[in-house]
């Protein structure tokens, strides 16, 4: 179980960390997604910081298990919000969302299974 916990947690942290960097450096893709979902561009850095906090929290969970659990739960909520943003504008391009969401769900699941 330990190997699954470590592998899934690191994978989820890397995925969300890469997304956070993409949002924080001002890449065009997050801006285009924000425009498509009618989210103000001023939210893009905030969303990037939330992703970075989730990514860091997952890694910090190796030392402080409660923090890792909270970070994983926060990422699940973040991606549920992303789903709402997609559906609100009628977007059916959900493959990318699904990868991130199910990675966050897997991180939460292994975290809860291993620690609690």
pTM, two decimals, is 0.95
- pLDDT > 90: what percent of the chain? 95
Give the closest residue to 37 by CA, choosing from 83, 99, 95, 102.
83
Low-confidence ranges of the chain (pLDDT < 70): none
Q: Which positions ≥6 away from 43 have C-beta within 8 Å?
A: 34
Q: How many CB atoms lie within 10 A of CB 17?
A: 17
Contact call for residues 100 and 85 (beta carbons, < 8 A): no
- pLDDT value of position 116: 80
Report the run of H or E that residue 108 belongs to, with start and end: helix 95-115
């Amino acid at each position: 179980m330990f190997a699954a916990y470590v592998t899934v947690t690191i994978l989820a942290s890397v995925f969300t960390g890469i997304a956070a960097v993409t949002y924080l450096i001002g890449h065009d893709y997050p801006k285009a997604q924000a425009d498509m979902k009618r989210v103000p561009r001023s939210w893009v850095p905030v969303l990037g910081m939330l992703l970075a906090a989730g990514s860091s929290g997952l890694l910090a969970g190796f030392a402080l298990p409660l923090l890792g659990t909270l970070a994983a739960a926060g990422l699940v909520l973040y991606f549920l919000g992303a789903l709402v943003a997609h559906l609100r504008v009628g977007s059916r391009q959900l493959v990318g969302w699904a990868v991130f969401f199910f990675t966050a769900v897997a991180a939460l699941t292994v975290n809860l299974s291993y620690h609690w």
